[in-house]
Amino acid sequence: MRVPFNDLARQYDSLKNEIDRTLSSTLQQFNFVRGTPVAAFEKAFARAVGTSSCIATGNGTDSLFLILKALGIKAGDEVITPSFSWISSAEVISLSGARPVFSDVDDLYFTLDPEKIESKITAATKAIVAVHLYGQAAAMDDIKAICKKHNLFLVEDCAQAHLTRLGKYPTGTFGDAAAFSFYPTKNLGAYGDAGCVVTNDDALAVKIRRLANHGALQKDDHEMEGINSRMDSLQAAVLATKLPHLERWNHLRRKNAQIYSTELKDILRLKLPSIRQGSEHSFHLYVIRTPARNDLQRFLAGRDIQTLIHYPCALPNLSAYRYLKKTPRDFPVATALQDEVLSLPVHPELTGEQIQYVCENIREFFGK
């Protein structure tokens, strides 16, 4: 049996008629950028998350960058961000001219450890970029309180957390603004690059809309300089077609996660994901932890089971951040994670047979 990490072909087959129809009708409008499908998707996504505004962009990284620019983050500023994430959440800080200040994640949820944040705050600190890693909500209540106390902006990276919930509210509603990615393999994925910003701050929304379109809301109305980061109509049409299925797909991801967590719970050398109390994880990734990670990955590959590592190098340990002059000892949790994490296939298209096959092989590896 072959178990691929993602199965976009199977997902497409299940929606083929709807997708083909919307792509064909969008093509025939010949309005490829900022067309009516984009405005329609913005409205639908804002409603799904529960914010007053959604601004469609070119991708998730641009979305984060646009938020920082719109908040006025600039050279001389510092922005606190987790030691363990995809590089986007850190590189946009440097790109804005500011300095990324890494703060270590906690050992259980792999998101910013609120206990470690305050020691990183200086007179130059302007914002925190929190990441809801793997679909797990970060500790937003504590992080929000820290931002309030020190008068910092709060930006959420929701690229892995489409309709994750914390308490009653979806991630993306806790900070000043939030960035989403619709990269094809995210929980809601386009057929190419796409992203968006959501916010309840109407003035910030207008500024981001301008910045994403050369500083203009309408043609030639350049009130400021900006960048070109817009969503294609074709991507918006695909996303609008897929959005009504997102809750069901997240439910299937949670169900798959639950099966793994039940089937693998007796293996002592394996740490399974914890779910933050009062939250609903969206399981963009199901990540297990074991010192035997590399051997397990090789063993599973030999059984045709594809696994991935998110991420093999903690951000402060990357060559890109050597200039910050940090050592792996400064981020003990992230540095341990980089050598121990392994992502198992958890996508909604997995069959029961496939999950059982993965579990059987993991048990066999550990002699269980």
Q: Which residues form the interface with ligand PLP (CB under 6 A)?
A: 59-61, 85-86, 88-89, 131, 157, 159-160, 181, 183, 193, 195
CA distance 241 to 222: 33
CB 186 within 8 A of CB 63: no
CA distance 189 to 166: 22
Place of tokens 């089971």: 305
Residue 130 CB, nearest distance to ligand PLP (Å)? 11
Q: At a CB cut-off of 8 Å and minimum separation 6, what does 319 contact?
A: none
CA distance 157 to 27: 31
Q: Which CB sits closer to ligand PLP, 92 or 270?
A: 92
Q: Which CB sits closer to ligand PLP, 157 or 232?
A: 157
Q: Which CB sits closer to ligand PLP, 98 or 259?
A: 98
Q: Which CB sits closer to ligand PLP, 133 or 296?
A: 133
Q: Which CB sits closer to ligand PLP, 91 or 267?
A: 91
Q: Which CB sits closer to ligand PLP, 175 or 357?
A: 175
Please report how many Cα atoms fall inside a 13 Å half-sphere around the Cα of residue 324, on the Cβ side: 23
Residue nearest to ligand PLP (CB): 60
DSSP summary character for residue 322: G
CB 165 within 8 A of CB 137: yes
C-beta atoms surrounding 258 within 10 Å? 13
Q: Which CB sits closer to ligand PLP, 127 or 131?
A: 131
* C-alpha 293, offset from chain centre: 23
Radius of gyration (C-alpha) of the chain in whole angstroms: 21
CB 58 within 8 A of CB 77: no
- What is the rounded (10 degree) CA torsion for 28, 30, 35, 36? -30
Q: Which CB sits closer to ligand PLP, 174 or 357?
A: 174
Residue 160 CB, nearest distance to ligand PLP (Å)? 5
C-beta atoms surrounding 6 within 10 Å? 17
Q: Which CB sits closer to ligand PLP, 200 or 235?
A: 235
Residue 113 CB, nearest distance to ligand PLP (Å)? 17
The phi, psi pair for 28, rounded to 5°, reads -75, -10
Structure tokens belonging to residue 226: 């900006």
CA distance 240 to 48: 11
The pairing of strands 177-181 and 99-103 is: unpaired
